[in-house]
Chain A
């Protein structure tokens, strides 16, 4: 059985969303059909707005509605340091741990030759240009501590070697409140290698 064309079209479009099957889409479509005009209008505008108003910041490549983004224009943040992350979601994690401290650079991926992703497929060239342009003095590389994240960190280190900039890598080791007994050998090894004075 088929519903009138506009409803069919809405159902069809909603089944393309992750986790939504035809049954759920039908239920949502009828909910919207019976909902207040103002709500449906607000929903459709908010959908259009994410495409229309959200873009990448031209400085740090974070998702933003103003360019440059609010983090890049925040005068209180350290202007000489930039924290390099794989994705916007990783930036959010760092930001919630240390609100208002760092400025960021989002790579939108990591070097991963097995998947055919080389340095040109992520925003590394833009990082170098930014460091030269803004006179940044320290780069903290916060990519994941796996083979792809480490390869990316080394590549960035090599690329920036000739610039007068301090390059550091986030440490891997025993989690705060953790128990040594339950930690895998690779992490223990890293935590001993990355030990620091007390």
Chain B
């Protein structure tokens, strides 16, 4: 049957002589895999809309029981134009697109994730995102996916941990540990402000990254040295959480990381 939907193009790969294999994140049906027949030949007028990071309106045909849907028509809502302007923008867009692609299953509707991805791609077109912006959207995506690290209570015993005691993070268990549980369990110790800082950025997820000044509201941060340390530690926590707790590697992350210094 024929479906009409909005979608963000996550991935494309040439297939055979002239077809394209596409993954879309649709507004109403989540992630779907699709084939566009003859897409690499210029006669198909919608072919060039099926490029990563494009926001499109799409018509696709679904045969019951078949994995790949067939794209019959597509047109542009918002192009990816602007993302190509720097490697930093391109790898930031790729990182968030991979985030949505790798951490979702086929056909799981997630309207919040759709809008978050749409928003971060739009911002990436307009400017280069700072690390704080990237962290904010990373946390926002984890929240919409239900994978937010636990920054409130000890992930082992469940006891609430006081703000100033939030220093131990277990990347394997995906959250903080209280002082009693931390001694027998693998963890790393971070500076006093780091974990509360990440938690605060995570709680501000409903605000656009650009309404919040980079340093606003982060405790224990006096100078740029503190900010640098926060970024370094936050990055280690997020990297560890994603690769050990969620068990995924994003191909674009190595490139993005090399640009963040």
Q: Chain A residues in contact with chain B, CB under 8 A?
A: 111, 113-116, 118-119, 146-147, 150-151, 153-155, 158, 175, 182-187
B79 at the interface (CB under 8 A from A): yes
Are A184 and B48 in contact (CB-based, < 8 A)? Answer: yes
CA of A183 to CA of B43 in the docked complex: distance in angstroms? 9
Chain A residue, CB-CB nearest to B249: A116
> Which residues of the other chain, B, contact A150 by a CB distance below 8 angstroms?
84
CA of A118 to CA of B80 in the docked complex: distance in angstroms? 19
Q: Decide: A114 near B49, CB < 8 A? Known: A150-B84, A158-B86, A186-B79.
A: no
B215 at the interface (CB under 8 A from A): no
Interface residues on B, range: 20 to 34
A184 to chain B, nearest CB (A): 4
CA of A154 to CA of B128 in the docked complex: distance in angstroms? 14
Q: Decide: A147 near B52, CB < 8 A? Known: A111-B87, A111-B90, A113-B95.
A: yes
CA of A147 to CA of B79 in the docked complex: distance in angstroms? 10
Are A154 and B252 in contact (CB-based, < 8 A)? Answer: no
- B76-100 CB contact bits vs A (8 Å, 1 = yes)? 1001100111110011011101100
> Which residues of the other chain, A, contact B251 by a CB distance below 8 angstroms?
113-116
A169 to chain B, nearest CB (A): 11
Main DSSP-derived SS at the B contact region: helix
B121 to chain A, nearest CB (A): 11
A112 to chain B, nearest CB (A): 8
Q: Decide: A186 near B49, CB < 8 A? Known: A114-B98, A147-B83.
A: yes
> Which residues of the other chain, A, contact B76 by a CB distance below 8 angstroms?
185-186
A55 to chain B, nearest CB (A): 26
B24 to chain A, nearest CB (A): 14
Chain A residue, CB-CB nearest to B90: A151
Q: Of B219-227, B236-244, B253-261, which binds chain A?
A: B253-261
Main DSSP-derived SS at the A contact region: helix
Are A114 and B45 in contact (CB-based, < 8 A)? Answer: no
B75 at the interface (CB under 8 A from A): yes
Q: Please name the 7 residue pairs, one residue from A and one from B, whose CB atoms are nearest each other, closest first.
A: A116-B251, A113-B94, A150-B84, A113-B252, A113-B91, A118-B255, A151-B84
B87 to chain A, nearest CB (A): 5
CA of A184 to CA of B254 in the docked complex: distance in angstroms? 35
CA of A147 to CA of B255 in the docked complex: distance in angstroms? 16
B183 at the interface (CB under 8 A from A): no
Chain B residue, CB-CB nearest to A118: B255
22 sampled A-B residue pairs with Cβ under 8 A: A111-B87, A111-B90, A113-B87, A113-B91, A113-B252, A114-B94, A114-B98, A114-B251, A114-B252, A115-B251, A116-B252, A118-B87, A118-B91, A118-B254, A147-B80, A150-B84, A151-B83, A151-B84, A155-B86, A183-B45, A186-B49, A186-B76
